[in-house]
Amino acid sequence: MEEIQKAVRLMEEHKTEEAINTLTTYLPEADEEERFTIAELYIQWGMLEEAKMVLQELIQRYPKEQELKVMMAEIHIDLDEDDEAIELLNQFGPEDEDYLQALVQLADLYQAQGLYEVAEQKLLTAKQVEPNSAIIDFALGELAFSNGEYMKSVPYYENAMHHQPVIGDIEVATRLAEAYAANGEFEKSLDYFQKVEEDNPDVMFRYGFVAFQANRNDIAIKVWEELMEKDPYFQSVYPHLAQAYDSEGMPKEALQMAKKGLEKDEFNKELYHLAATLSHRQGNKEEGYRLMREAVALDPGYKEAVLFLIENYKSDEDYEAIIELINQLISLGEEDPNYLWELAQAYEEEEKFKEAYEQYKQAYPSLKEDTDFLKSYGYFLVEEGRMKEAQQVFREYLSIDPADIEIEDFVERLKEQND
């Protein structure tokens, strides 16, 4: 045992290589008890393959020693050798002291393999052995929840909470709150969130989010403001708190919060979008446009931001801004036929008919099933005096919407004029 203690001292002195060499050298002459201690040290030091070799030998000598099998199973699990762990744990019977632990571990392994029914069966067997075990009830709740069976998880969580409100470092009330929220029962969810004592930022965020979904903006704002004080760098809270302020008729506070969030996370395109929308709505158009262009600069594929800009530029009759924006997007590889159509219409408004025609032609192959596009394109062609092309486009339109008598009459008049 002296050599083992020497190895421990060396490890404490951070002489890792010497410590390992000392154990490895001593192992062949160690007795069974010392080998067990060496295996424990190997596990503690993260040398799982070495520990496995020692335990395999010990299990062959003492096949009825259940503690050895439990240790070996845990090593297999840590090494992602699930099948080997399952084979070993299935050797435990009701008469064994570690039977319950084996059943719970088997359930975890079967769940990881997607075998939910087998996992549940193992836990139900464990529950028959120990009906009032909070751990087993909690495991059954976790299994049902992970499988999307939220209401099925509730009685298990309630049983667990009755016997043991905190399991590991998890307050069971948080799980009940999440189960009710996932089932859309927000008021019950809020009741359980209010029972949670820990001030974990993730739990606080979820509490606020559920309150927001339940239209309890008063609770959401209170909880999220507390969360911000606790952790100003919890970035997910800023857009949601801004939306809660906005929903409560507090637009200035909402904009201020969105801008605060951008100070913490300058690459958050959704926050730029939100701040831009709020700013624009409050009458500061230029700032709104600037913020929204920042969102597009971060992600040229962010269509929600692009469409905001296009629609509002249209309202301002700023067609040059639309032309500049879309040409920039096209140069960045954003290929959307609707952008080409918007570009065609902007050129048309600016009386740049040649450019408009080119964009209509480019958009046509992708939008030839879109009746709104075909109607717009057809009228443009008429204005440009391209009557044959116009008639062809309108015929395609009528093949999709033959009930449009107005267009049908218009096409007939075009024919008569050009015959």
pLDDT string in tens for the chain (419-residue length): 688 888 889 888 888 889 889 888 888 888 888 899 989 998 999 999 999 999 999 988 888 888 888 888 989 988 988 889 998 888 888 888 888 888 988 998 998 888 999 999 999 999 998 998 999 999 999 999 999 999 999 999 999 999 999 998 899 999 999 999 999 999 999 999 999 988 889 999 999 999 999 999 999 999 999 999 999 999 999 999 999 999 999 999 999 999 999 999 999 999 999 999 999 999 999 999 999 999 999 999 999 999 999 999 999 999 999 999 999 999 999 989 999 999 999 999 999 999 999 999 999 999 999 999 999 999 999 999 999 899 999 999 999 999 999 998 888 888 777 65
204 within 8 A of 223, measured Cβ to Cβ: yes
**Choices 3.90.1150.10, 1.10.10.10, 3.30.1490.100, 1.25.40.10: CATH for 1-91:** 1.25.40.10
pTM > 0.75: yes or no: no
- Residue 371: exposure state from Cβ atoms within 10 A (0-12, 13-18, ≥19): middle
117 within 8 A of 133, measured Cβ to Cβ: no
Calpha distance 35→41 (Å, rounded) = 10
Residue type, 106: L
User: Between 269-281 and 251-264, two packed helices, what is the crossing angle to 10 degrees?
Assistant: 150
End-to-end CA distance of the chain: 111
Calpha distance 73→86 (Å, rounded) = 8
DSSP structure class, residue 96: S
φ and ψ at residue 336, rounded to 5 degrees: -130, 120
Question: What kind and span of H or E run contains 4?
Answer: helix 2-12
Q: What is the pLDDT of residue 419?
A: 58
Residue type, 113: Q
Calpha distance 372→383 (Å, rounded) = 17
Q: What is the pLDDT of residue 173?
A: 96
Mean pLDDT, all residues of the chain = 92
73 within 8 A of 89, measured Cβ to Cβ: yes
Q: What is the pLDDT of residue 23?
A: 83
Fold category of 132-214 in CATH: 1.25.40
Digit-coded pLDDT (tens) for 344-356: 999 999 999 999 9
**Choices 1.20.1560.10, 1.25.40.10, 3.90.1210.10, 1.10.3720.10: CATH for 235-316:** 1.25.40.10
Residues of the chain with CATH 1.25.40.10: 1-91, 132-214, 235-316
